[in-house]
């Protein structure tokens, strides 16, 4: 190994994940942290840690000069970017190399080739890899977007060319929605990627989102580590991933061959992911992520490979040392993303402090997390608390194991996606693997609708099974009691707290109920990106009046009724708390 000390240019669970593998390899680790992350788990676990700036990512985790300064001061020999932030920033990769450091990722030209989605589509066209019907040129304005809708048909996806992870992606199902979809996609693209280029492609209704794990070295070897089904998504971001994907055998074979061919076409030399849409017996290239992927864990579970270890090895110039035939797959693995979000309120981000935390365990259970009791989930970063991963010999056993692990998982202080993940374990389209990208959001809406009178408890997963369950001790025996009618729509913070006479915490309202009377209010803590109305203007019901960014999501705030704007209470750039007035109607 040509280096013994690496800097991790990231935070949270992925930084912890990298630290663990590096320690097993005998490599010292350097963490960076923002002012909001002084008590972060990655800061505690690393051999050294350096402050790089305030909480805002643009001033800390995206501050290239500050990160390279830390690398120089600490004597780092290589930089691992993790995922997100600067992981797919070719300019950063080039500056790392120019500074005499090793970039633990693909070469910058590969990042450029795949980082721009329009260039990627052109590369796939050259490599004869099928892609979703659509354009290979930028959409400059609303008029061009409408022409694309006429050419490719509706629904139409408007996507950020420099984007990924669901950011800068909006779907228009009617011509009337084109303007809003285009402007929102462009705004997100500018905010997240500093690149407002938008392109259009046909939006496929409820396909499977299946991705291929690629592993390559600098000596020309390109392998795949199987495919993952990542179709269960909200806001085009994944919540449930599993491998192997339940797709036709001929699609699996063709996708594996095409994915390896695509990576070879750009001289790929690290871990990466080819993302595709599968519809029936066809598959279409979607994009390539030139980094370690959030859901790499399930591929590790069935292959026995440590993908981060292999990523570090090949960055150091080592050969993979094995062939495609040596990569074997055993059993089934599922990952559920545990996010600080309220599934009963349209997945509203829910920053806050975790008051109690206990991870599940047992055979075939893995938790990748940086959380702990007292850990504060900042509104400045992603909402992920943990990744819950299970493995079992059969898919049915893996689902049963995930259900059991969720029952054991305790997170108090913030609402999470655990109740939804639990419900998915018993949902027929999940059980029989017929689900697609359009499955999750309607299921979540119907599953939670009316079950808590429009509200959702902030109690931990073991108490909230929709409706919630509490524990009651009678004559030295413990009973679990399911609450069908929750008094006043409230649930105690925990059974122990209730027994001590602790005050009850009000449940958080659904976002659809956050505006009432004359006031339109923000359903979450966040930063006002845009106010779209002025005093005296007339607005229609459901018209977008403001955009609030919270936990890396752009949230359109719509009028709950028609009226005339009497007052505007917030300005772009201002930070607002949940339930703050944004606009008052007359």
CATH topology for 133-202 is Dna Ligase; domain 1 (3.30.1490)
Report how far residue 313's alpha carbon sits from residue 270's, in angstroms, rounded to the nearest whole number.
9
How is domain 515-585 classified at the architecture level of CATH? Answer: Beta Barrel (2.40)
Which run of H or E residues covers position 427?
none
Strand segments, DSSP code E, in 236-321 are 237-243, 271-279, 282-289
DSSP 148-210: HHHHH-SSEEEEEEEEETTEEEEEESSGGGHHHHHHHHHHHHHHHHS---EEEEEPPSS-EEE
Of the candidates 25, 518, 59, the residue with the CA atom closest to the CA atom of residue 313: 25
Of the candidates 352, 331, 501, 478, the residue with the CA atom closest to the CA atom of residue 401: 331
- HSE toward the beta carbon, residue 391, CA cutoff 13 A: 15
Tell me which DSSP letter residue 249 carries: H
Helix axes 108-115, 90-98, angle to 10 degrees: 170
Each residue's pLDDT tens digit in the chain (586 positions)? 679 999 999 999 999 999 999 999 999 999 999 999 999 999 999 999 999 999 999 999 999 999 999 999 999 999 999 999 999 999 999 999 999 999 999 999 999 999 888 888 888 888 889 998 898 889 999 999 999 999 999 999 999 988 766 788 999 999 999 999 999 999 888 877 778 999 999 999 899 999 999 999 999 999 999 999 999 999 889 999 999 999 999 999 999 999 999 999 999 999 999 999 999 999 999 889 999 999 999 999 999 999 999 999 999 999 999 999 999 999 999 999 999 999 998 899 999 999 999 999 999 999 999 999 999 999 999 999 999 999 999 999 999 999 999 999 999 999 999 999 999 999 999 999 999 999 999 999 999 986 543 333 333 333 334 456 677 878 765 676 766 665 544 444 443 443 333 333 333 333 333 566 899 988 877 888 889 999 999 999 989 899 887 766 778 899 989 999 999 999 988 888 777 899 999 9
CB 369 within 8 A of CB 384: no
Q: Which tens digits make up the pLDDT trace of 95-125? A: 999 999 999 999 999 999 998 888 888 888 8
**Domain segments of the chain: what residues?**
5-104, 133-202, 215-443, 451-508, 515-585
Separate counts of helices (H) and strands (E) for the chain: 16, 36
How is domain 5-104 classified at the architecture level of CATH? Answer: 3-Layer(aba) Sandwich (3.40)
How is domain 215-443 classified at the architecture level of CATH? Answer: 2-Layer Sandwich (3.30)
Dihedral (Cα; 455, 458, 459, 461), 10-degree rounding:
90
Of the candidates 103, 31, 102, 98, the residue with the CA atom closest to the CA atom of residue 70: 31
Report how far residue 45's alpha carbon sits from residue 24's, in angstroms, rounded to the nearest whole number.
13
Q: What are phi and psi of 43, to 5 degrees?
A: -70, -40
What strands lie across the sheet with 222-234, from one edge to the other? 282-289, 271-279, 208-216, 222-234, 237-243, 332-339, 384-392, 365-369
- Give the torsion sign (CA, 473, 448, 352, 297): positive
């Amino acid at each position: 190994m040509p280096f013994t000390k690496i800097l991790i240019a990231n935070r949270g669970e992925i930084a912890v994940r990298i630290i663990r593998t590096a320690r097993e390899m005998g490599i010292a680790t350097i963490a960076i942290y923002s002012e909001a992350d002084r008590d972060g788990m990655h800061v505690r676990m690393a051999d050294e840690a350096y402050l790089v700036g305030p909480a805002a990512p643009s001033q800390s985790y995206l501050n290239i000069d500050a990160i390279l300064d830390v690398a120089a001061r600490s004597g780092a020999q290589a930089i691992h970017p993790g995922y997100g932030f600067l992981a797919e920033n070719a300019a950063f990769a080039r500056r790392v190399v120019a500074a005499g450091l090793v970039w633990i990722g693909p070469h910058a030209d590969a990042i450029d080739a795949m980082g721009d989605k329009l260039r990627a589509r052109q590369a796939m066209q050259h490599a004869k890899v099928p892609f979703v019907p659509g354009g290979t040129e930028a959409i400059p304005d609303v008029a061009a977007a409408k022409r694309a809708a006429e050419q490719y048909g509706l629904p139409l996806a408007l996507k950020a060319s420099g984007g990924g992870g669901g950011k800068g992606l909006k779907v228009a199902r009617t011509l009337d929605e084109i303007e809003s979809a285009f402007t929102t996609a462009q705004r997100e693209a500018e905010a997240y990627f500093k690149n407002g280029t938008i392109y259009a492609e046909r939006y496929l209704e409820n396909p499977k989102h299946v991705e291929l794990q690629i592993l390559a070295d600098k000596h020309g070897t390109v392998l795949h580590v199987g495919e993952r089904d990542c179709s269960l998504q909200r806001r085009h971001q994944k919540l449930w991933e599993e491998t192997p994907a339940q797709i036709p055998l001929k699609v699996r074979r063709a996708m594996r061959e095409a994915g390896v061919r695509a990576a070879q076409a750009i001289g790929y030399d690290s871990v990466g992911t080819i993302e595709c849409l599968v519809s029936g017996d066809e598959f279409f290239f979607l994009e390539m992520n030139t980094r370690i992927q959030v859901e790499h864990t399930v591929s590790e579970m069935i292959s026995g490979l440590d993908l981060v270890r292999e990523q570090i090895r090949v960055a150091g110039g080592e050969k993979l040392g094995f062939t495609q035939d040596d990569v074997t797959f055993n059993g089934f693995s599922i990952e559920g993303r545990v996010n600080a979000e309220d599934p009963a309120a349209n997945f509203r981000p829910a920053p806050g402090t975790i008051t109690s935390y206990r991870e599940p365990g047992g055979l075939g259970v893995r938790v990748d997390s940086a959380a702990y009791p007292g850990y504060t989930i900042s509104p400045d970063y992603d909402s992920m608390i943990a990744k819950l991963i299970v493995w079992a010999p059969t898919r049915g056993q893996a689902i049963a194991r995930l259900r059991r692990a969720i029952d054991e998982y305790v997170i108090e202080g913030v609402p999470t996606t655990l109740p939804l993940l639990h419900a998915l374990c018993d949902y027929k389209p999940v059980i029989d693997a017929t689900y697609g990208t359009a499955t999750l959001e309607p299921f979540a809406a119907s599953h939670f609708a009316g079950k808590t009178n429009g509200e959702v408890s902030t109690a931990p997963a073991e108490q909230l099974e929709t409706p919630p369950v509490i524990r009651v001790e009678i004559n030295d025996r413990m009973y679990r009691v399911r609450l069908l009618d929750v008094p006043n729509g409230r649930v105690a913070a925990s059974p122990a707290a209730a027994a001590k006479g602790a005050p009850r915490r009000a449940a958080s309202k659904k976002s659809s109920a956050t505006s009432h009377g004359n006031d339109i209010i923000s359903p979450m803590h966040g930063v006002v990106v845009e106010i779209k109305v002025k005093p005296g203007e007339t607005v229609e019901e459901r018209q977008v009046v403001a955009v609030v960014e919270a936990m890396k999501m752009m949230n359109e705030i719509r009028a709950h009724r028609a009226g005339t704007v009497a007052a505007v209470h917030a300005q772009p750039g201002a930070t607002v708390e949940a339930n703050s007035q944004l606009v008052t109607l007359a």
